[in-house]
Amino acid sequence: MGGFGLFDIGKTALLMNRRALDTIAHNVANSATPGYTRQDVVLENIPTGDITAVGTTGRGVRITEVKRMYDAFLTLQLRTEKSNLSYWNAYEKGVVKIENIFNEASDTGISTAITDFFNAWQEVAQNPEGYAQRTLLIKKAEYMSSRISGAYTMLDDGRTEIFKSSQSLVNEVNSIAAKIAYLNDKIAAVPGALDLKDQRDLLIEKLNEIVKVSTFEDNVGRYSVLIGGTPLVDGGKTYKMSVTTDTANAMHFYVDLESEVREINSYITGGELKANLDLRETNILSIMNRLNAFAIDLSFTVNYYHRQGYGLDNSTGNDFFRQLYSITDSSPAVGGTVAGIDFTNISVVNLGKMYRIDYNTVGGAGYQQEEAGATDIYWRVQESTDGTTWTTINPLSVTLSSDTSTIPDYRTLEFSGIKIRIDGNQSDLVTTVTEQFGISFNSNAAKYMATAITDPQKVAAAQTDPSDPSGGVGDNRNARLIADLINQRIIAGAIPIDFYRSMVSDVGVDASSSKINMKFQSTLVEELERRRQEVSGVSLDEEAANLIKYQKAFQASAKLISVADELLETLIAMTGRR
Amino acid sequence: MRITNKMFYDRFLSDMRKNLESIFISNEQISTGKKINRPSDDPTVMSRIVGYKTQISAIGEYKKAINSAKSSFEALDSSMSNLNSALIRVKELALQGATGTTDPNSKVMISKEVDILLKTAIDIANTKVGDKYIFSGYKSNIAPIDINTGEFVVDANIFKISISAGAEIGLNMPANSLFSFARVNAADPSNAILPPHNRDFDTANDPLTGERKTPPDADPLSALQLSAAVADSSAAGFTTNGGTLTITVGENNTTPVDVVIAANASLNNIRDAINNQPGIKVKANIVNFGTAGSPDYRLIIASSPVGQSDKIKITVTTTDGAGAGLNRLAYDPQGIQNMTLGRDRIANYNYITDITNPNYYSFNNNYLNENNILRAIHFLKVSLEMNDNGRIQKAIDYIGKVAEKVFQSQAEVGANLNKLQAEGNYQDDREYDINTYLSNDQDADIAKVISEMTQRQTVLQSLRTISSDFLRTSLFDFIR
């Protein structure tokens, strides 16, 4: 090695230390940038200088790489957990909204409206002649109906909101996917583009918060992004995601794969979209169904009793609530009558369906025989969605039981989560030979719950006609009967308040558990974030120390050059004197 | 472990958030006073709270019912008291009337007071509380007793309300259990409740006689009646030989008027003869007491002007057989009484004179029982008017029995009032208990919350101080 070797070594030292200082500056500058991964220069001494008998001398220093201080496993874990956190975050927000609708901690909850309604009947029972009590009853019934329909409307609006939010999230997914594809191409072209990788990681993290995705990297460093196996980004290519609602107002997500448009509802397993899906299609829907069941059962039962009573104006047969169901009877005057509708399993009830029940005395395919009694009666249940094509429900899935010990006889038919009670003596049914009952529901029953009576006189508090010798305006038996319904299992096998209570309780449990999950998840994410920061984060103290280190090294390298200069000067001066 | 700046920031932020959150929750608990502010705060407790609130609301309703029941029973109670004092007075009067020294005129005077007490009893039966007749059935807007006939005109349903889960109480006391009864057949005069007012005199003319059915003295009980009935009033031969009726009215014997009756005259002929006789002070009528199918025509002779029928004197001069023909029309208040005063005809009471008859004290004969105050008083009134000491004695027994029944009913009302009081107290206790449970479940322990909050604030304060001191400096501050 010649005398200029020192220059060379000094030069590499100057350049490399400068590069190191640049990296420190970049780190300091990005110490607060989200998603930024600390970079570090890896220095290496350049070997193979002079080889002498006592050893070799080096040729200086060089940078082998600028490293991203990055833990791939931690990043993956963090991505997954952030996706979960985002799910719980959105879910919790959703259920808290539902919870607020059913907030019974205040003194104006729906339960108060329900008990007030029955109390108002009690008041009428105490004072059946009083107009004030009757008017109050109608007002209380209107208030209760409006609370229930209000709650239902709020839930319905909630579903619409969720759909809108899903739409904008899907737009965001598409835009993020496009950005990832763009970065994929860039990264493939420039392999050392560390900061682009940081940006891409950040985008994937964001995407994960919206919808849980899996990624894998190809040999040129491009990411493929998949939603449960369905590609969203494939290298530089993106597939468009979309969301729509079907005729039953259920939300569906699709990815357009060119070869097919694939429905991916079942592949969405995390992130805000999953929360939206769960809230909209499971959680809110189940509460809406329960409100529907409440509205239908309550109005059916109250109406059933109310029709049998008499008002002050001697009127009878009036409905108290608006009919949320329609019941037809092919021969209303004879045979049987539909005396009860109850829901045995709300989760399988489909209010959009119509049912048709008929009986005859000879049986046939799809009919089953009624137990007991002197004569045979055969029952059949059919269902339809449009009212024109009817399919017979398999008798095995229709539970028929009868009771001949009461007057009149009755039998119950249980199918599709619905229980229908038909009153009528067997002998009358046999005489009628055949009869058909049609049953259909308002699929938004709770929304349309309202009182049908406006005239206080028509409130049927009496059991017999007041103009009858044995009756009178003081007859309160029917009012007492209806007031007592608060203690009867009239709503899906439960008493009204208990039915409502279990609903509130379920909403509460859901909200409470989602809050706990949310807290747990956010602690977990914080912890992981901390661990990532431990690896990838910028410590200003550390950078300051490094700054001093490289500054000193830079200063020393400069000194080396000046020393080499002096050495040369010495040599040149010596030659010049000759 | 490598510590970076962001770790400090993040930790500081999350700790501060946690502290602020718990302070926020404490703050909410203090401002609302409740530890459960939404279902998710504790779903099971929330469900209990809804249950408690429902119970409290039901108790409130029961308490209302108890109060309104109380006011009804208080009204019944005071009605009973009034009725009782009226009956005591009736009994006093009965005893006074039963005394042998009381002359018939005084008995009539006493009967007038009894009549007033009868009206009082009817008034009591028609007591109204608010809009309701408490002695009515479901027809609570209609007075239970017809003030003219004394008949029970409404239904006998008991108006019940619930005063607790499963317990009910009847608020009214239909008057048929105490005052009167509903006639089986309103057209049948034989089971009339207060007969004087109850005869079926309509304003239409009698189709057979062409006369108005209503006699001049509308009270047949005080008019003279032919006690023997005739199936056809126009059939000739009521009298065989005819004769003269000498009729006077009043004690001072107004100028006697002779009415000559032709031989073989019918009842209608006799009526016409009397009515056509100039100067006559009576008016004769024929009334069918029976039905069209089995007619029962009777001659009714009432004073004109009305009010002195009991002072009519009819002396008969005839050759008809004794007790037959015209002789059947003889009447002297102090002597022969072949005709009777209408009020003697109280056979409807099924009055039993034989003391050995097992039914003598029975009140079940023809509704003369302890459930029939009005008739009992009326019975006394008529007995007094009739100056019939035997019946007055029996009336005293009846009144005694009736008063006993009223005492019993009053005791029942009192017992019900006690029951209501007890039920009310029980509901109050339950309300208190449930309110306590509710408070335990729902109300925040303010002292505890405040102390927790203070603790949190201290932590937050120190967190802020330390963090701001620490985060402010780094090694860069020391590079020169």
pLDDT at A397: 87
* Range B131-146 average pLDDT: 89
Pair A281, A289: CB distance under 8 Å: no
pLDDT at A513: 92
Which of A462, A466, A533 has its CB closest to that of B4?
A: A533
| Residue of chain A minimizing CA distance to B59 | A119
Q: Where are the beta strands (DSSP E) in B173-296?
A: 224-225, 243-249, 257-261, 282-288
- pLDDT tens column, B338-367: 776 655 444 444 444 454 555 444 433 444
Q: Would you give the distance in Å from CA A60 to the centre of its chain?
A: 62
Asked if pLDDT for residue B221 goes beyond 70, the answer is: no
Rounded to a whole number of angstroms, the distance from the CA of B185 to the nearest CA of chain A is 14
Which of A469, A470, A512 has its CB closest to that of B43?
A: A512
Pair A372, A404: CB distance under 8 Å: yes
> Which residue did the predictor score with more confidence, A55 or B441?
B441
Pair A515, B43: CB distance under 8 Å: no
B137 and chain A in contact, CB less than 8 A: yes
pLDDT at B344: 47
* pLDDT confidence tier of residue B370, bands split at 50, 70 and 90: low
Model pTM?
0.76
> Which residue did the predictor score with more confidence, B266 or B212?
B266
A507: which chain B residues are within 8 Å (Cβ-Cβ)?
A: 39-40, 43
Q: DSSP state, B221?
A: T
Distance CA B161, CA B70 (A): 12
Look at the block and give the residue holding tokens 């009842």.
Answer: B267
* Range B166-178 average pLDDT: 86
B42 and chain A in contact, CB less than 8 A: yes
Rounded to a whole number of angstroms, the distance from the CA of A278 to the nearest CA of chain B is 18
B54: which chain A residues are within 8 Å (Cβ-Cβ)?
A: 111, 115, 497
Q: Please give the interface size between A and B, counted as residue pairs whose CB atoms are below 8 Å apart.
A: 195
| Residue of chain A minimizing CA distance to B64 | A123
pLDDT at A368: 87
A35 and chain B in contact, CB less than 8 A: no
A126–B64: do the CB atoms touch at under 8 Å?
yes
pLDDT at B192: 58
B58: which chain A residues are within 8 Å (Cβ-Cβ)?
A: 115, 119, 486
A404 and chain B in contact, CB less than 8 A: no
Which of B2, B61, B476 has its CB closest to that of A122?
A: B61
Which residues share a beta bridge with B162? Answer: B168
Mutate to test the interface with B, among A127, A134, A502, A546 (most CBs of B within 10 A): A127
| Residue of chain A minimizing CA distance to B5 | A539
Which of B36, B160, B476 has its CB closest to that of A544?
A: B476
Q: Identify which of A16-30, A184-198, B210-224, B279-293 has the greatest average pLDDT.
A: A16-30
| Residue of chain B minimizing CA distance to A130 | B131
Distance CA A20, CA A39 (A): 10
B132: which chain A residues are within 8 Å (Cβ-Cβ)?
A: 129, 474
Alpha carbon separation from A95 to A91, A98, A165, A284 (Å, rounded): 6, 5, 15, 8
In A68-127, the residues whose Cβ lies within 8 Å of chain B are 95-96, 99-100, 102-105, 109, 111-112, 115-116, 119, 122-123, 125-127
pLDDT at B362: 40
Which of B137, B142, B474 has its CB closest to that of A541?
A: B474
Rounded to a whole number of angstroms, the distance from the CA of B400 to the nearest CA of chain A is 32
- pLDDT tens column, B415-433: 999 999 999 999 999 999 9
B31: which chain A residues are within 8 Å (Cβ-Cβ)?
A: none
B162: which chain A residues are within 8 Å (Cβ-Cβ)?
A: 122, 125, 480, 483-484
Distance CA A550, CA A331 (A): 100
Which of B41, B46, B142 has its CB closest to that of A504?
A: B46
Could you give the percent of chain B with pLDDT greater than 90?
22
Mutate to test the interface with A, among B141, B161, B162, B479 (most CBs of A within 10 A): B161
Low-confidence ranges of chain A (pLDDT < 50): none
Which of B4, B442, B474 has its CB closest to that of A534?
A: B4
Rounded to a whole number of angstroms, the distance from the CA of A578 to the nearest CA of chain B is 48
Rounded to a whole number of angstroms, the distance from the CA of A349 to the nearest CA of chain B is 25
Return the structure tokens found at A293. 């069941």
B42–A508: do the CB atoms touch at under 8 Å?
yes
Residues 6+ apart with CB under 8 A from A556: A13
pLDDT at B356: 57
A570 and chain B in contact, CB less than 8 A: no
Mutate to test the interface with B, among A114, A467, A470 (most CBs of B within 10 A): A470
* pLDDT confidence tier of residue B242, bands split at 50, 70 and 90: confident
B37 and chain A in contact, CB less than 8 A: yes
B40–A95: do the CB atoms touch at under 8 Å?
yes
How many CB atoms neighbour CB B337 within 10 A?
15
* pLDDT confidence tier of residue B196, bands split at 50, 70 and 90: very low
Look at the block and give the residue holding tokens 């985060």.
Answer: B471
Which of A111, A470, A474 has its CB closest to that of B140?
A: A474
pLDDT at A374: 55
pLDDT at B357: 52
Apex A486 CA angle, A483 and A490, nearest 5? 115
pLDDT at A273: 94
Identify the helix (H) or strand (E) that includes residue B125: helix B104-125
pLDDT at A46: 83
Instruction: Give the dihedral of Cα atoms B36, B42, B45, B50; nearest 10 deg.
Output: 70
Closest CA to B226 of B158, B312, B111: B312
* pLDDT confidence tier of residue B187, bands split at 50, 70 and 90: low
Residues 6+ apart with CB under 8 A from B56: B431, B434, B435, B438
Rounded to a whole number of angstroms, the distance from the CA of B75 to the nearest CA of chain A is 16
* Range B256-281 average pLDDT: 86
Identify the helix (H) or strand (E) that includes residue A392: strand A391-392
Mean model confidence pLDDT for chain B: 79
Asked if pLDDT for residue B440 goes beyond 50, the answer is: yes
Which of B11, B38, B47 has its CB closest to that of A505?
A: B47
B139–A474: do the CB atoms touch at under 8 Å?
yes
Distance CA B108, CA B101 (A): 14
> Which residue did the predictor score with more confidence, B185 or A168?
A168
Asked if pLDDT for residue B232 goes beyond 90, the answer is: no
A257 CB-side CA count, 13 A: 13
B174 and chain A in contact, CB less than 8 A: no
B172–A483: do the CB atoms touch at under 8 Å?
no
B161–A544: do the CB atoms touch at under 8 Å?
no
B472 and chain A in contact, CB less than 8 A: no
A129: which chain B residues are within 8 Å (Cβ-Cβ)?
A: 131-132, 140-141
Which of B34, B139, B475 has its CB closest to that of A472?
A: B139
B42: which chain A residues are within 8 Å (Cβ-Cβ)?
A: 508, 512
Q: What is the DSSP secondary-structure string of B76-100?
A: HHHHHHHHHHHHHHHHHHHHHHHST
Pair B195, B189: CB distance under 8 Å: yes
